[in-house]
């Protein structure tokens, strides 16, 4: 069977699109053009309901085994194959499906300050006109209701950032030597070193990749009447969501950093899990519970001509 040798399994809004793009340039690696096939998220067809925009995203899932295998059919002889679906770490069912089908797979995980990750996640959906709540703190408060209503993983701003419990379970399923965990700030601050670390983990030549492109940079449209009207249309008329997203993000400002006051409102969601993460990994993540010196991430004004990345299969 043509199945992946490695997976970029987490986490959303932690540079997985940029890493996928960078690793595709390595001659000994093969990653398909489709990012986030999401194959391991279901045992069959994806759900038929969810939050704003979810149904359209579900139609892009590659969920049939033969279609998933076809993603890797063109890999050159001897190349290692991989794919990037950053929800695999979060989804308990996915972790077990991976263990069942590809028990020897190597797993790559990038961890980002969970408050920053949630903020970037919320901004992504706000900038697409899909997030109806114009405040991250209130959106996090609404998460239990959204989860109960079947909204997809990308709406789980808090849940996605509880890495301690996710990794603890992952290490029950896979030997630690099959899992590479590093911080998003390493991707941002030390791209060449981080890419070499990934290549060493995969057993391919180092020194060939030196840059991580600025991909999936999130614009932050200002709130107001224009955003309210366009976002309402995007949620009610899914067929028009993509062009409306372009209008919302046109000349959008860079994502604005969270104030310490707002970080303080969100840190309690993650404090206990950060302690668990430290026990699981043996590393110090205490900086995630303090004020930040910078907002973090591949932020700033979006490169000219770039739009929010769209993942999964097209036209289905």
Segment 74-101, tens digit of pLDDT = 999 999 999 999 999 999 999 999 999 9
DSSP secondary structure code for residue 252 in this structure: P
183: β partners: 111
Give percent of the chain with pLDDT exceeding 70: 87
With 70 as the cut, is the pLDDT of residue 187 above it? yes
Q: So what's the pLDDT on residue 313?
A: 54
Please state, rounded to an integer, the average pLDDT across all residues of the chain: 89
With 80 as the cut, is the pLDDT of residue 16 above it? yes
Q: So what's the pLDDT on residue 76?
A: 96
With 80 as the cut, is the pLDDT of residue 186 above it? yes
Q: So what's the pLDDT on residue 292?
A: 83
Is the whole model's pTM more than 0.95, yes or no? no
Q: So what's the pLDDT on residue 253?
A: 67
Q: So what's the pLDDT on residue 316?
A: 46
Average confidence (pLDDT) over 175-195: 97
With 60 as the cut, is the pLDDT of residue 105 above it? yes
Q: Do 294 and 110 touch, CB atoms closer than 8 A?
A: no
pLDDT digit string (tens) for 19-33?
Answer: 999 999 999 999 999
Count the Cβ atoms, other than its own, within 10 Å of residue 150.
Answer: 13
Q: So what's the pLDDT on residue 298?
A: 44
Average confidence (pLDDT) over 105-130: 95
Q: So what's the pLDDT on residue 1?
A: 66
Q: So what's the pLDDT on residue 226?
A: 74
Average confidence (pLDDT) over 139-163: 98
Q: So what's the pLDDT on residue 252?
A: 64
pLDDT digit string (tens) for 213-252?
Answer: 865 566 677 777 677 777 776 777 777 777 777 777 766 6
Would you call 238 exposed, middle or buried from its count of C-beta atoms within 10 A (0-12, 13-18, 19+)? middle
Average confidence (pLDDT) over 58-85: 96
Q: So what's the pLDDT on residue 309?
A: 52
The enclosing H or E element of 171 equals helix 163-173
Q: Go through 196-223 and write b for each residue having 16 or more CB atoms within 10 A of its CB, e for each that does not.
A: bbbbebbebeeeebeebbbbbbbbbbee
With 60 as the cut, is the pLDDT of residue 310 above it? no
Separation between Cα atoms, residue 27 and residue 79, nearest integer Å: 8
Q: Is the dihedral of CA 133, 139, 145, 147 positive or negative?
A: positive
Average confidence (pLDDT) over 259-275: 96
């Amino acid at each position: 069977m043509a199945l992946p040798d490695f997976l970029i399994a987490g986490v959303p809004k932690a540079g997985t699109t940029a890493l996928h793009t960078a690793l595709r340039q390595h001659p000994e690696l093969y990653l398909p053009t489709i990012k986030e096939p999401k194959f391991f998220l279901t045992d069959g067809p994806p759900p038929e309901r969810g939050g704003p925009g979810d149904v359209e995203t579900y139609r892009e899932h590659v969920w049939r085994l033969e279609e998933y295998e076809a993603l890797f059919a063109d890999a050159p002889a001897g190349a290692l194959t991989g794919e990037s679906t950053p929800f695999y770490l979060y989804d308990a069912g996915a972790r077990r499906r991976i263990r069942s089908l590809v028990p020897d797979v190597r797993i790559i995980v990038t961890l980002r300050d969970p408050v920053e990750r949630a903020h970037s996640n919320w901004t992504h959906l706000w900038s697409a006109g899909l997030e109806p709540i114009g405040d991250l703190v209130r959106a996090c408060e609404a998460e239990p209701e959204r989860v109960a209503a079947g909204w997809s993983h990308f709406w789980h701003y808090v849940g996605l950032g509880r890495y301690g419990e996710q990794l603890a379970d992952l290490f029950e399923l896979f030997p630690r030597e099959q899992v590479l965990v590093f911080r998003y700030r390493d991707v941002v601050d030390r791209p060449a070193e981080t890419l070499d670390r990934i290549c060493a983990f995969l057993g391919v030549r180092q020194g060939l990749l030196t840059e991580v492109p600025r991909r999936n940079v999130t614009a932050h449209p200002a709130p107001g009447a224009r955003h309210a009207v366009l976002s309402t249309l995007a949620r009610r008329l899914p067929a028009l969501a993509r062009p409306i997203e372009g209008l919302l993000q046109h000349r959008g400002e860079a994502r604005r950093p969270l104030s310490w006051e707002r970080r303080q409102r969100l840190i309690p969601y993650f404090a206990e899990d950060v302690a668990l993460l430290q026990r699981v990994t043996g590393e110090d993540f205490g900086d995630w519970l303090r004020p930040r010196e910078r907002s973090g991430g591949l932020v700033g004004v979006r490169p000219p001509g770039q739009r929010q990345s769209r993942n999964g299969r097209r036209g289905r």
